[in-house]
Amino acid sequence: MPPVTSAISLNVHPSRTELHEELHSRPSPLVETPCTISHIAVQVGAEERAAERAYLGELCTRFDANPPREGASCFYQTFGGFELRWEKHTEFSTYTFIQRVLGDPLRQAGALTQVPGDWLAKMPGKVTTALHLAFSCAEGPIDPAELDRYFEKQPLRGGVVRQGTAYLYSSFRLHSDGFGRIVLQARDLTPLQAGRLVQRVLEVETYRLMALLALPVARRITPDVRTTERELARITQELTHAEEETDQRALLDELSKLAARVERHRSDTTYRFAATNAYYDLVEERIQELGEGKIPGLQSIRVFIERRLAPGIRTCNAVRDRLEGLSGRISQASELLRARVELSIQGQNRELLTSMNRRSEVQLRLQQAVEGLSVVAMTYYLMGLLGYLYEGLAWTGLPLDKKIGFAIAVPVVMLAVWKVIHGVRRRIEQP
């Protein structure tokens, strides 16, 4: 008997159930063969993401089926003659339609024949991947003429997958209906095995195109990156000859504009370039899981994708690295130029302080000279007053000698005046 835990009150993390169920989200489909499959991947924004549940609910209403639950990351439902598998990813969603067929699936019209066309036309988002997959369980190799007809005589790539138990063909091109096309041929696979194989093949194509979303962005900004590199080289060269502060400030202003331009590109592309590498890693993982072997006369899926996809990924990485390098070099040049400007300003400040010190010394000397003249002038006027005093006292009959009195009074008056002026100045200068 399995252990039974009695009721225990535990402080459960709010995301525990979500984390536990993550391993079981988006399971492989159970695919009955032969069948046709139509797969559409759409890149969605915030508004389109919010509209997806209502969009799926509209289809459920038409077929009297239960709609997806609120916040669901996947939805699987059978609608009469077809099955819909909707899955939500970080920046895109996939709609996979599976239809069991009788006879040769390569001669069927695809899995969208029973899906309402007006409903399909309102699908939220922008289509990045749209393909039809024909899964045959016929014995023996497929007639090359039949493959030419199905792929509209486009050059084929293919391989033996799943350790030699299945064949995979694709042209990796858009056909007359705007869809890509893939053929799988296998016998004696269980629905789960067939579903896993289909899932890996569809993910290779979906992630391949999502990985390439950054390539047009990289190509668009490459001319501006090249121009910025040339401008930075010019500024760096002029930096060695810029001695005047005005020239240095002008160069610093140019560097600031370059930095703003580069950081704008980085902020616009950081997520896209990071997603590109993540998708590319997933493509390589899925191809590895296919266990592909070679079909004589055909280029293998692995070789084709490595030769055609890898250069685009390297281009994106090169542009990303150039932007990062530009950002670092602009920062270094700005710091160097800013240091030179600061040194120049410090030199000007030292000269200004020296000039102010000289002016202070001159003002002090002038002040001292004025004080000396003030003492003399005030002494002169005070002695004049004393003269009147002596004359008045002499008129009263006192025996006073005016010359001797003046000789004694002059130094006393001068000292008194100096002390008064000096005391007033000290009180003024005190904080």
Q: How far is Cα 131 from Cα 204, in angstroms, rounded to an integer? A: 12
Phi (first) and psi of residue 91, to 5 degrees: -125, 5
Per-residue pLDDT, 147: 94
Task: Supply the Cα-derived Rg of the chain in whole angstroms.
Answer: 46
Q: What is the pLDDT of residues 1-59, one digit of tens each?
A: 555 555 567 788 877 777 766 666 777 889 999 999 999 999 999 999 999 999 999 99
Please tell me which residue, 258 or 244, carries the higher pLDDT value.
258
Q: What is the pLDDT of residues 333-374, one digit of tens each?
A: 878 777 666 656 666 677 777 777 777 777 767 776 666 667
Per-residue pLDDT, 346: 66
φ/ψ bin of 352: left (φ > 0), alpha (ψ from -120 to 50), beta (otherwise): alpha
Phi (first) and psi of residue 394, to 5 degrees: -65, -35
Residue 18: how many other CB atoms lie within 10 Å: 12
The residue-averaged pLDDT of 219-234 equals 93
**Is-contact 326 232, C-beta < 8 A?**
yes
Q: Inform me whether the pLDDT recorded for 395 exceeds 70.
A: no
* Domain limits, the chain: 24-189, 214-351, 365-429
Q: How far is Cα 175 from Cα 162, in angstroms, rounded to an integer? A: 27
Sequence-separated (6 or more) residues with CB below 8 Å from residue 424? none
Q: Inform me whether the pLDDT recorded for 100 exceeds 90.
A: yes
Which helix (H) or strand (E) segment holds residue 134: the answer is strand 126-136
Q: How far is Cα 213 from Cα 215, in angstroms, rounded to an integer? A: 6
Per-residue pLDDT, 408: 73
DSSP string for 167-228? EEEE--S--TTS-EEEEEEESS--HHHHHHHHHHHHHHHHHHHHHTTHHHHHHHHHHHHHHH
Q: Please state the pTM of the whole predicted model.
A: 0.77
Per-residue pLDDT, 324: 93
220 pLDDT tier (thresholds 50, 70, 90) = very high
Q: Would you state the structure tokens that stand for residue 40, as one six-digit string?
A: 């559409």
Q: How far is CA 66 from the centre of its chain?
A: 40
**42-46, 196-200, 390-394: which range is least confident on average?**
390-394
